[in-house]
Amino acid sequence: MQRKTCRHIHELGEFGLISLISGKVRPTPAVPVSIGDDAAAFQWQNGYIGLTTSDMLVEGVHFDLSFCDPFRLGRKSLAVNLSDIAAMGGIPRWFLLSLAIPAKLSVGFVELFTSGMLGLADEYGTALVGGDTCASKEGLVISITLYGEQQEGRIIRRRGALPGEAVFVTGTLGDSALGLELLRKGSTDGRCISRHLDPSPRVREGLALAEAGLATAMIDISDGLLSDLGHITEMSGSGAFVHQDRIPLSREFAAHVESLRNSDYSLALGGGEDYELLFTAPARNRDAIGSLFAELGTPVTEIGEITSTPGVHVLSAEGKPIPAPKAGFDHFSTTARDTRSSLPVHWEE
Ligand code: ADP
Ligand code: MG
């Protein structure tokens, strides 16, 4: 028998690997949204759709305990899951917490981790209802599965963006990636570091957009603006352009870019973990979106447009295409250093 060529996982990449798995899955009745969106949706009751999402944080990949305190780690573990429910316009409800814990960790660590996580759960009216616990021989692994709900017809998927529609983003971009860089260089506080260690999920904003029916497609920015906009355009069968000079930057981020004397937007275009919402809407909804976000007290910026030709392009202030930085984060890339950790991913050579 001929031996199959042994392909390595990094040849497929993270998304190729997910496609390999999802390609073997048969469609399930009563699951209108399956693999490929921020959360899966299933038929619930009384006109409601159930939403479920799962995100894992792995020591040495997503966080480094030398600069990540347990309280904020607990908050972030839940925040990244809340962000995926927010990206569907859902209401978060219950979650399961699974932990693989190295025995050397202290009880105090677990106490702080838990109070951070449950404090954030209270802020969003979400309850811990179960999970699983085991020992880990390597690092700490935190996996949360969060359930939410929303009225049928209100959820906002990654697909649905139409050519000519405007692209909007909440808050500012690049802060988390810059925060990680600053942590690596030995800084310990500041706005960007706090955005990296303790991100705020945009649950209220996602919900408000769903209730107002203003957005056609939505995703949260976990991998980076260009990569996540790429997910919207792929799922919608379209393309997009963004104006680099319209990317919203915080004062701290802008000052940093200036102090380096470069106009390098790569952290804002390609850096992950800002957990802002990226959404599309017909241009006629522009004013209504402005009023909605003014009421919420959250900045929102129109940064580009959906096109019928595939691909995501970055335009200069003069409207000329400019080379984009390497987009987004891939867990299995051999070249990219993990943007989420100070350590190289352990299976890379
Ligand atoms: P997000 O960044 O929003 O958390 P991901 O990029 O992690 O989304 O995942 C993309 C999609 O693939 C999601 O729908 C997720 O549920 C699904 N997915 C990821 N890993 C697996 C897996 N091992 N098996 C099945 N589905 C997966
Ligand atoms: Mg997401």
Per-residue pLDDT, 309: 95
Comparison of pLDDT for 136 and 259, the residue scoring more: 136
Closest to 204 (Cα-Cα) out of 90, 323, 338, 48: 90
Give the span between the Cα atoms of 60 and 267, in whole angstroms. Answer: 21
Residue nearest to atom 1 of ligand 1 (CA): 38
Q: Do 140 and 99 contact (CB within 8 A), yes or no?
A: yes
Q: Which ligand is nearest to the CA of 36?
A: 1
What's the rounded Cα separation, in Å, for the pair 213 and 119?
A: 30
Q: Does residue 263 carry a pLDDT above 80?
A: no
- Give residue 319's identity as a one-letter amino acid code: G
Tell whether ligand 1 has an atom less than 6 A from the beta carbon of residue 35.
yes
Distance 53 CA to ligand 2 centre (A): 9
Greatest extent of the chain over all pairs of C-alpha atoms, in Å: 67
Q: Which atom of ligand 1 is nearest to the CA of 80?
A: 4
**Distance (Å) from CA 109 to ligand 1 centroid:** 29
What are the tens digits of pLDDT across the range 34-86? 999 999 999 988 899 999 999 999 999 999 999 899 999 999 999 999 999 99
| pLDDT value, residue 337 | 42
Q: Is the CB of 55 under 6 A from ligand 1?
A: yes
Reduced to 3 states (helix: H, G, I; strand: E, B; else coil), residue 231 is helix
Task: Outline where the chain has alpha helix (H).
Answer: 9-22, 70-86, 107-123, 175-184, 191-197, 203-212, 225-236, 251-259, 266-270, 286-296
Q: What is the mean pLDDT of residues 220-244?
A: 97
Tokens linked to 337: 């250093």
Give residue 259's pLDDT: 65
Judge if the beta carbon of residue 273 lies within 6 A of ligand 1: no
What's the pLDDT at 239? Answer: 98
pLDDT at 223 over 70: yes
* Nearby residues of 107 by Cβ (< 8 Å), 6 or more positions away: none
Reply yes or no on whether the pLDDT at 12 is more than 90: no
Strands 127-135 and 91-101: what pairing? parallel
- Token look-up 């048969």 returns 26
Tens digits of residue pLDDT in 154-179: 999 999 999 999 999 999 999 999 99
Per-residue model confidence (pLDDT) at position 46: 87
pLDDT given at position 334: 54
Mean pLDDT of 268-279: 96
Q: Is 83 in the pocket of ligand 1 (CB under 6 A)?
A: no
| Per-chain mean pLDDT for the chain | 90
Q: How far is the CA of 177 from the centre of ligand 2 (A)?
A: 17
| Closest residue to atom 23 of ligand 1, CA basis | 18
Contact between 77 and 128 under an 8 Å Cβ cutoff? The reply is: no
The pLDDT confidence band at residue 4, using thresholds 50, 70 and 90, is low
Determine the Cα–Cα distance for residues 101 and 117; give it in Å rounded to an integer.
16
143 lines ligand 1 (CB under 6 A): no
**How large is the angle between the packed helices 70-86 and 203-212, nearest 10 degrees?**
10
Q: What integer is the mean pLDDT of 106-114? A: 97
Q: Residue 143: its pLDDT value, please? A: 98
Confidence of residue 323 (pLDDT cuts 50, 70, 90): confident
Our answer on whether the CB atom of 222 is closer than 6 Å to any ligand 1 atom is: yes
Distance 334 CA to ligand 2 centre (A): 23
pLDDT greater than 70 at residue 189: yes
Average pLDDT estimate for 101-111:
96
Is residue 276 lining ligand 1, measured as CB closer than 6 Å?
no
7: pLDDT confidence band, cut at 50, 70 and 90?
Answer: confident
Residue 330 has pLDDT above 60, yes or no: yes
Radius of gyration, alpha carbons of the chain: 20
Q: Are 184 and 42 in contact (CB under 8 A)?
A: no
Highest mean pLDDT (candidates 26-40, 204-218, 318-332): 204-218
What is the distance in A from the centroid of ligand 2 to the CA of 85? 8
Q: Strand 311-315 and strand 239-243: pairing?
A: parallel
Whether 262 has a pLDDT exceeding 60, the answer reads no
Q: Give pTM, 2 decimals.
A: 0.93
- DSSP conformation letters of 156-182: --S----TT-EEEEES-SSHHHHHHHH
Ligand 1 contact via 36 beta carbon (within 6 Å) = yes
Q: Do β-strands 311-315 and 321-322 pair in parallel, antiparallel, or remain unpaired? A: antiparallel
Share of the chain above pLDDT 70, in %: 91
Which residue lies with its CA nearest to atom 22 of ligand 1?
Answer: 18
Helix (H, G, I), strand (E, B) or coil at 43: strand
Cα angle value 302/274/159 (rounded, 5°): 60
Closest CA to 274 of 140, 180, 164, 151: 180
pLDDT per position as a tens digit, 293-302: 999 999 999 9
Distance set, CA 300 to CA 37, 141, 222 (Å): 22, 34, 17
Residue 198: CB atoms within 10 A of its CB come to 17
Per the CB < 8 A criterion, the answer to whether 307 and 205 are in contact is no
219 C-alpha to ligand 2 centroid (Å): 6
**pLDDT value, residue 324:** 75
**Ranges 82-86, 234-238, 344-348: which has the least confidence:** 344-348
138 burial level (CB within 10 Å; 0-12, 13-18, 19+): exposed
Helix H or strand E segment including 240 = strand 239-243
How many whole angstroms from 140 Cα to the centroid of ligand 2?
A: 22
What's the confidence (pLDDT) of residue 6?
67
